[in-house]
């Protein structure tokens, strides 16, 4: 497997009319996708937002790239040793992603002023001392709206294998006398790990979805195209009913690169991929996930090693 750096601190690498400038580690570089500094840079890491597979499909590798849920930031106060925590609003990118999400799931007439969101909302578990947090809760306050209460989870991508190869490549690029975009987007030996991305989400998806289902709301899972394809490979034979125009309770939607225009300087534009879109029943989907496989007596047959180091064949 190989991937290449597709976006570096919000600048796509496949445009050669300019050259991206390496960002100093642990600096206060501004994130283009939320109203605060880049977390990766502050931690001394390279600000790689997106990588691209050999097939051309993108894989988001920053948790804030699709639609950050952060609500606060720290700012320095003159004369004070400790920073002050202040609330932050939504930047244009977040509004764009949230509006595209709303425009996909809601019906009827509504405007941006009708769509409300809350970030990092606590989802309590009354039988446990542990709480979960929903990325977003979204509501449609337009008059006569039939679909309203939404719990929205965002998982654009995840980690890569052989991440060190990307790190070394970035270091080599940044030390060039004249760093070029063509050098930056050269292939590395890293790969994408879709399985880990889903495993991290699975428990929370099941628990939070159950809470929302019992509350009468709906759950929307917004993912990157590669993660959608991974999930689709698991449920494509489940014969899930298409409830897009009916009483759906679960929507899985994919965001992918918008290639309708030629690449230009700036970030990679994203769109909802209407070919990767599932509206179905949450409970039916969960039953399918938890009811895979069948009896397999062979598991408990064959050669066993006994604890006295002898063998037994069953």
CA-wise closest residue to 209 among 193, 198, 200, 220: 220
Burial 180-191 (b: 16+ CB within 10 A, else e): ebeebbeebebb
Q: Is 87 exposed, middle or buried (0-12, 13-18, 19+ CB in 10 A)?
A: exposed
Going 165 to 36 to 178 to 54, the CA torsion angle's sign is positive
Return the domain boundaries, the chain: 3-290
Q: Is 209 exposed, middle or buried (0-12, 13-18, 19+ CB in 10 A)?
A: buried
pLDDT level of residue 127 (50, 70, 90 thresholds): confident
3-state SS assignment for residue 189: coil
Residues 185-214: pLDDT tens digits? Answer: 999 999 999 999 888 888 888 888 888 988
- CB count within 10 Å of CB 136 equals 21
Between strands 250-257 and 218-224, the pairing is parallel
* Residue 49: per-residue pLDDT: 98
Average pLDDT over residues 159-164: 93
* Residue 136: per-residue pLDDT: 96
Alpha-helix runs per DSSP H in the chain: 39-42, 92-105, 163-174, 181-184, 194-215, 225-235, 282-290
Residues 81-115: pLDDT tens digits? Answer: 888 899 999 999 999 999 999 999 999 899 999 99
3-state SS assignment for residue 299: helix
Average pLDDT over residues 153-173: 94
Mean pLDDT of all residues belonging to the chain: 92
Rg value, the chain, Cα: 23
96: left (phi over 0), alpha (psi -120 to 50) or beta: alpha
Paired strand residues for 187: 4
Q: Are the C-beta atoms of 249 and 278 separated by less than 8 Å?
A: no
Residues 239-251: pLDDT tens digits? Answer: 888 999 888 999 9
Q: Is 163 exposed, middle or buried (0-12, 13-18, 19+ CB in 10 A)?
A: middle
pLDDT level of residue 9 (50, 70, 90 thresholds): very high
Residue 291 has pLDDT above 80, yes or no: no
* Residue 287: per-residue pLDDT: 85
Largest Cα–Cα separation, the chain:
77
DSSP letter at 291?
T
* Residue 25: per-residue pLDDT: 86
Residues 220-234: pLDDT tens digits? Answer: 999 999 999 999 988
């Amino acid at each position: 497997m190989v991937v290449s750096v597709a976006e570096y601190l919000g600048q796509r690498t496949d445009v050669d009319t300019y050259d991206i400038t390496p960002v100093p580690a642990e600096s206060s570089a501004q994130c283009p996708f939320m109203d605060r500094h880049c977390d990766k840079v502050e931690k001394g890491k390279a600000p790689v937002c997106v990588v691209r597979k050999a097939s051309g499909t993108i894989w988001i590798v920053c948790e804030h790239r699709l639609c950050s849920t952060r609500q606060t930031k720290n700012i320095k106060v003159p004369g004070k040793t400790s920073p002050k925590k202040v609330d932050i609003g939504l930047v244009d990118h977040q509004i764009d992603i949230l509006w595209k999400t709303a425009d996909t799931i809601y019906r009827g007439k509504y405007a941006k002023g009708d769509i409300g969101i809350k970030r990092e909302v606590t989802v309590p578990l009354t039988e446990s001392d542990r709480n979960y947090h929903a990325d977003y809760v979204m509501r449609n306050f337009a008059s006569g709206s039939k679909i309203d209460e939404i719990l929205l989870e965002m998982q654009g991508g995840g980690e890569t294998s052989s991440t060190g190869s990307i790190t070394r490549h970035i270091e080599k690029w940044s030390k060039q006398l004249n760093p070029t975009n063509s050098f930056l987007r050269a292939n590395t030996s890293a790969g994408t790990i879709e399985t880990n991305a889903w495993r991290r989400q699975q428990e929370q998806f099941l628990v939070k979805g159950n809470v929302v289902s019992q509350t009468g709301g709906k759950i929307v899972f917004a993912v990157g195209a590669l993660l959608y394809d991974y999930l689709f490979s698991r449920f494509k034979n489940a014969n899930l009913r298409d409830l897009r125009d009916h009483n759906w309770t679960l929507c899985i939607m994919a965001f992918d690169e918008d290639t309708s225009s030629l690449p230009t300087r700036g970030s990679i534009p994203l769109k909802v991929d209407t070919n990767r879109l599932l509206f179905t029943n949450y409970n039916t989907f969960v039953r399918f996930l938890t009811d895979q496989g069948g009896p397999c007596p062979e598991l408990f047959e064959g050669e066993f090693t006994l604890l006295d180091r002898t063998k037994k064949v069953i």
